[in-house]
Amino acid sequence: MMLKESGTTNWLVGRSNANNIDLNRNFPNLDAFMHKYNHYAHHRNHHLDIETFLSLTSGNDCQNNPYQIETVAIAFWIMQNPFVLSANLHNGDLVANYPYDDSENHLQMYSPSSDDLLFQHLAESYSYSNERMKSQTKSCGDTAFADGITNGAAWYPVCGGMQDFNYLASNCFELTLELGCRKFPPGKDLPSIWNEHKNSLINYMSQTHSGIKGVIKNEEGNAIYGANIKVYQLLNNHWQYIDHDVTSNLEGDYYRLLVNGIYAVQVQSPGYETETQYIDVDNKPDQHNAQRLDFILKPESIERLNRKQMLRQFVNK
């Protein structure tokens, strides 16, 4: 409370919990799994829930500290709720930071996710509504950020942060928003900070209504939970897979943030035929509603099921 009232720029004071652990370095290091998996042909960099569970139950964080009860609670809360978009708010600089926060070798270098263009757009949706952040006429340190945004690892690598955990463990896309130069501003500054950032926050939240959404059901009208939604974007006359799937929720609903473009959307679920639809995404600032794309999946044919069974038997011999 003393720090909050007096204000400080000390980056090393006030972040730790009662056990002196920095909670924003205490999440499972899913970036390490993702970078490792990228070396294999059939890899995944989404919904790393098994990796999360193993990390939380049998290991320590990147700094070799035990996982804290606060971290575990937030991690499971993130995975158990169908969040679409989020942000964690910091002070100490003035920039919108997007994934990845860490590079493969923990070096300071640009580390793009499969949704790099989308994350740049999300970051700009925040910074462009804050003239001081966008113009960078006053930098907090030696670094001036073009358009007020930065890739996390290009700025400085962070291991075990909440931002990348959201992206790799769930359907949620998250940014880290640095709201000002003073790491712990005094309470009297909070109204001016709110006034400076409220339009950016509102514009950022409105991005939840971009891209596509829909409901996935079977022919009987029952919701399909856990269906995999793959997205391919048409670029230079070629379909490019955005290697980050989302999944349907308990009611069969799904939400996939996307920038403008032409997409092929493919839905897969065990026991059903794969269904593909095409859509031209044209996000509008005042739309307040993502374009809807529903799917009705047909049961997988007996012939296809038999072929799968024969293949499994052959492989297991």
- Backbone φ and ψ of 277, nearest 5°: -130, 160
Residue 138, pLDDT > 80, answer no
Report the share of the chain in percent with pLDDT over 70: 89
> What is the pLDDT, as a whole number, of residue 4?
45
CATH number of 2-209: 3.40.630.10
User: Are the C-beta atoms of 184 and 126 separated by less than 8 Å?
Assistant: no
Estimate the share of the chain in helix, then strand, then coil, as percent rounded to the nearest 5.
Answer: 35, 25, 40
Q: Which two tokens stand for residue 265?
A: 């959307």
pLDDT tens digits, one per residue of 144-178: 899 999 999 999 999 999 999 999 999 999 999 99
* Tokens 């962070």, residue located: 158
Name every residue whose Cβ is closer than 8 Å to that of residue 105 and which is 6 or more positions away in sequence: none
* Tokens 């205490």, residue located: 26
Q: Please confirm, yes or no, whether 178 is among the known catalytic residues.
A: yes
Sequence-distant contacts of 66-72: CB under 8 A, at least 24 apart: 66/21, 67/26, 67/28, 68/17, 68/19, 68/21, 68/23, 68/26, 70/17, 70/23, 71/23, 71/26, 71/27
Phi-psi sector, 304: left (phi>0), alpha (psi -120 to 50), beta: alpha
Q: Which two tokens stand for residue 252?
A: 């069969």
Q: Does pTM surpass 0.95?
A: no
Q: Which two tokens stand for residue 176?
A: 């880290």
Query: In 101-120, which positions are buried (b, 16+ CB within 10 angstroms) versus exposed (e)?
Result: bbbbebeeeebebbbbbbbb
- Tell me 24's DSSP state: G
In whole angstroms, what is the distance from residue 29 CA to residue 10 CA?
26
Residue 115, pLDDT > 80, answer yes
The domain made up of 212-303 has a fold known as Immunoglobulin-like (2.60.40)
Residue 19, pLDDT > 80, answer yes
Number of helices followed by number of strands (H, E) in the chain: 10, 12
> What is the pLDDT, as a whole number, of residue 21?
94
Domain limits, the chain = 2-209, 212-303
> What is the pLDDT, as a whole number, of residue 2?
37
pLDDT tens digits, one per residue of 170-225: 999 999 999 998 888 899 999 999 999 999 999 999 999 999 999 999 999 999 99
* CA distances, 195 to each of 122, 199, 201, 257, 313 (Å): 20, 8, 10, 27, 64
Q: Which two tokens stand for residue 26?
A: 């205490």
Find the catalytic residue in 51, 124, 174, 178.
Answer: 178
Amino acid letter for position 31: D
